[in-house]
Chains A and B, each alone.
Chain A
Amino acid sequence: MEFTLEVVLVPVTDVDRAKEFYRDKVGFRVDHDTRIDERFRIVQLTPPGSGCSVVIGEGIPLPGGRTLEPGSYQGLQLVVGDIEAAHAELVARGLDVTEPEQVAPGDGGTFMYFSDPDGNGWAVQEWTRRASQPLHALLAEQARERAERGDGTD
């Protein structure tokens, strides 16, 4: 059976502020903003082109009474085909984002970073080949190539 990873809950203190941030500054699409009842509200946002969304909300019940610390999420990663253009787009919308930095050689090695108003941290990765191929397929191909070279731990 398919188990499709489609939603990541992002813990925030102020849903309206976070919704405005992700919609207006980052450019995500608001899929829905649903108030189920007085305590329970869900806002689902999707980065353009993505098969996975983020949800911010109030009163979202987690099993076992577990809670999420607002701003504690780090390591959400977006992929773009052209990081310079992506950087210009974010800066033009007033987002505080780091300069693109090549941290590893080759395609897929350039990143920039931003955080939401609560401090949840995002990375943006450039894959120029991503425009036509899904990331996991690219990574699997690279892993095969590395294995053929007897390189790395694959």
Chain B
Amino acid sequence: MEWTLEVVAIPVTDVDRAKNFYVDRCGFTADLDMSPFEGARLVQITPPGSRCSIVLESGMPESPGQPRMTPGSLQGLQICVTDIEAARKELVDRGVVVGPVRHVGPSGWADGKGAEPWNSFAFFQDPDGNGWIVQEAPAPLADR
């Protein structure tokens, strides 16, 4: 059977602020914005080309045995692009604060692109501090 990882919940304090950030600044697509019941809200957003989405919510019940995450505590969501400099510029032009392009060197993070495929990264955070990594991939997901 297929078990497709399709949703990652992002813990935020303000759904509207976060939705504006991900849609207007990051350029992601809002798939839905709904109220499943009075007082609850669910927003699903997909980065272009992705087969996995993020969800922002307020007022939804906790899943059994799974406590609510602290807003801003999620680090390490990674999106792939085929041109890290162009992707960084696209984000910066829309007002996202993105760190410089870096690669993993012999003693940790070093400036600039790495010589090897997959070794060029840039980082940004959403308004709550949830951390994203942009990684350069040698080909689009659909071709890999």
Contacts and interface: CB of A to CB of B under 8 A. Distances in A.
Interface string A8-35: 1101000000000000001110000000
B36 interface: yes
B2 A48 contact: yes
Nearest to A26: B3
- Report, as a range, how many residues of chain A touch the other chain: 35 or more
Interface string A103-127: 0100000010101000001011100
Interface in B1-48: 1-9, 11, 26-29, 31-36, 41, 44, 46-48
B8 A75 contact: yes
Contacts of A140: 31-32
Interface of A: 1-9, 11, 26-28, 36-37, 40, 46-55, 60-63, 66-69, 72-82, 85-86, 89, 98, 104, 111, 113, 115, 121, 123-125, 130-131, 134-136, 139-140, 142-143, 146, 152-154
A121 B63 contact: yes
A2 to B, nearest CB: 3
B64 A98 contact: yes
